[in-house]
């Protein structure tokens, strides 16, 4: 049994809802798997399989859509990258940190930067922002794409944040 099949077989068996699983490769020919979950409730099932296979969370990303947020966990299992995409419209996601401790920082960023609550996460401490600022405040005022272009260095962002604090 090859490495990909050894990963995908238990992964597919664990999922209860619709999904799309595709295999690709990067520019160097390394295998990359993409798992798009149609129901975020399957995230814990997939994370449990990754943990059982000795995998880890490399990082995670989130981006805002018109109706919610898309989250992508970038996981590594024995050198094979598995990207798991989940969608939330209610600003919650089941935390995978109890299964994969390496997801701790990324899930705390979800909470702090996007206002997405990782339900069941063992650590509620903030990473960067002062406790007086509401969760997800940066997501409300300046999209990440604009922050990356240096907009956050201006006074505009902090003027908006301070105005919100006074309200």
CATH number of the domain where residue 38 is located? 3.30.460.80
- Same domain membership, residue 114 and residue 32: yes
- Same domain membership, residue 80 and residue 55: yes
- Same domain membership, residue 40 and residue 65: yes
pLDDT in tens, 56-91: 999 999 988 889 999 999 999 999 999 999 999 999
- Same domain membership, residue 94 and residue 23: yes
Q: Pairing state of beta strands 92-94 and 117-119?
A: parallel
Q: Is the pLDDT of residue 136 over 90?
A: no
Beta bridge partner(s), residue 64: 69
- Same domain membership, residue 153 and residue 73: no
Can you tell me the distance from the alpha carbon of 33 to that of 36, in angstroms, rounded to the nearest whole number?
Answer: 10
Containing structural domain, residue 87: 3-128
Sign of the dihedral through C-alpha 91, 118, 80, 28: positive
- Same domain membership, residue 109 and residue 32: yes
- Same domain membership, residue 124 and residue 96: yes
- Same domain membership, residue 103 and residue 43: yes
- Same domain membership, residue 70 and residue 80: yes
- Same domain membership, residue 49 and residue 19: yes
- Same domain membership, residue 48 and residue 18: yes
Q: What is the mean pLDDT of residues 39-62?
A: 97
Using 50, 70 and 90 to split pLDDT, how confident is the model at 52? Answer: very high
How far from the centroid of its chain's Cα atoms is residue 98's Cα? 14
Number of domains, the chain: 2
Question: Model pTM?
Answer: 0.79
DSSP H or E run through 145: helix 144-148
- Same domain membership, residue 81 and residue 45: yes
DSSP three-state, residue 128: coil
């Amino acid at each position: 049994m090859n490495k990909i099949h050894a990963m995908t077989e238990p992964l597919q068996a664990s999922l209860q809802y619709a999904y799309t699983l595709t295999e690709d490769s990067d520019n160097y020919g390394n295998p990359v798997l993409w798992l798009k979950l149609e129901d975020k409730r399957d995230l814990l099932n997939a994370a449990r399989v990754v943990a059982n296979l000795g995998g880890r969370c490399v990082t995670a990303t989130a981006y805002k859509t018109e109706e919610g947020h898309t989250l992508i966990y970038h996981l590594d299992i024995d050198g094979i990258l598995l990207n798991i995409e989940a969608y939330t419209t209610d600003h919650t996601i089941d935390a995978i940190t109890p299964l994969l401790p390496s997801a701790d920082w990324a899930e705390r960023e979800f909470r702090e930067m996007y206002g997405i609550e990782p339900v069941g996460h063992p650590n509620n401490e903030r990473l960067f922002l002062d406790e007086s600022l509401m969760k997800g405040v940066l997501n409300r005022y300046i999209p990440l794409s604009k922050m990356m272009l240096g907009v956050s260095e201006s006074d505009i962002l902090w003027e908006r944040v301070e105005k919100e604090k006074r309200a």
